Amino acid sequence: MILEALPSSSAVAQAAADVFAQVVAAKPDAVVCLPTGATPEPLYAELVERIRGGRLDVSRVRWIQLDEWLGLPAGHPATCATWLEHRFFHSLTPAAGRRLDIASDPGCAQAEALRLASALKAWGGLDLAILGLGANGHLGLNEPAAALSREVHVEILSESSRRHGMLAGVATPPISGITLGMADLLQAHLVLLLVTGEGKRTVLDRLLTSPVTTALPASLLHLHANCRLLTDQAAGPARHP
C-alpha cells in the first residue's frame, strides 16, 4: 500500500481524478467500481468538470456500483444508485450494457447478487476499484467478521453501517445490503482508497498500524500489489511516515 498524504480533500479529489484519467487512457473500456458517501463526492465533481470540459473521455468505460442498501424502493433518495445518479451519472449517458446498478428492492436478493457476480465475471473483473474507508474498517459493505465473503453477496449490516449518514432520513434503516466481495476488490488491477476528514482519523490510524485481519477488512489491502491510499491532513496521516 502506497500512502500519499495531501493537504486537503480537494487535493485528494484532483489526484484521484488524475489516477482515473491514467487508467482510462491506458484502457478506454476499463471496468471501474464506484462507491458512495461524502469522501468520493469531490472526486465525482472533479470528474464531471473534466468530462463536461472535454478533457476526459469516458464513453467506453464500464461502471459497476460497489454496494447498495436492501429494502428501499427503487429511486429512494437514500439508495446508492440514486446518490450516484445525482452526483455523477447525470452528467453522462453510458451506452447500454456499460453500467451495472444494484437493485435495492429485488424480488430475490440472492438472485440479484448472483446477477451482478455473473456480469462482473463476464467483464473480466475490475480494472480500478475506487473505495472509501468505513468507520469500522469496512470496504463496501464487507463488515468486520471472523470470515469474509469472496464474491458479490448479501451482507448483514453492522450497527455502525446502519447509522451511515446516507440513511439519516430513513425511519427504519435497512438491515442488509449487497456488496462486491473481498476477492472482487483484491483482484482489481488498481485499488484507489480515499480517506478524508477528521472523522476518519481513528480508523485510518487503525489501518496503518493494524495487522492484516478480517476484524478490519480494509487491512487486507496491505496484501494488494497495487493499492494507493490518498488521504488529507485532516485524517492525520502525518503521524505515519
Domain residues for the domain of 224 are 2-239
184 catalytic, yes or no?
A: no
CA 187 – CA 182 distance, rounded (Å): 8
142 catalytic, yes or no?
A: no
67 catalytic, yes or no?
A: yes
Active-site entry in 46, 67, 101, 184: 67
Q: What's the average model confidence in pLDDT over 3-12?
A: 96
> What's the confidence (pLDDT) of residue 237?
61
Counted domains in the chain = 1
> What's the confidence (pLDDT) of residue 13?
98
Active-site entry in 138, 153, 164, 224: 138
Active-site entry in 68, 112, 143, 155: 143
DSSP β-bridge partners for residue 4: 230
CATH of the domain at 168: 3.40.50.1360
pLDDT at 96 over 80: no
Categorise residue 93: left if φ over 0, alpha if ψ from -120 to 50, beta otherwise. beta
pLDDT at 97 over 90: no
CA 94 – CA 109 distance, rounded (Å): 25
Q: What's the average model confidence in pLDDT over 13-30?
A: 98
The set of cell numbers assigned to 17 is: 481524478
18 catalytic, yes or no?
A: no
> What's the confidence (pLDDT) of residue 231?
96
pLDDT at 238 over 60: no
Backbone angles phi, psi at 12, to 5 degrees: -60, -45
Task: Tell me the percentage of the chain whose pLDDT exceeds 90.
Answer: 89
Active-site entry in 4, 41, 136, 189: 136
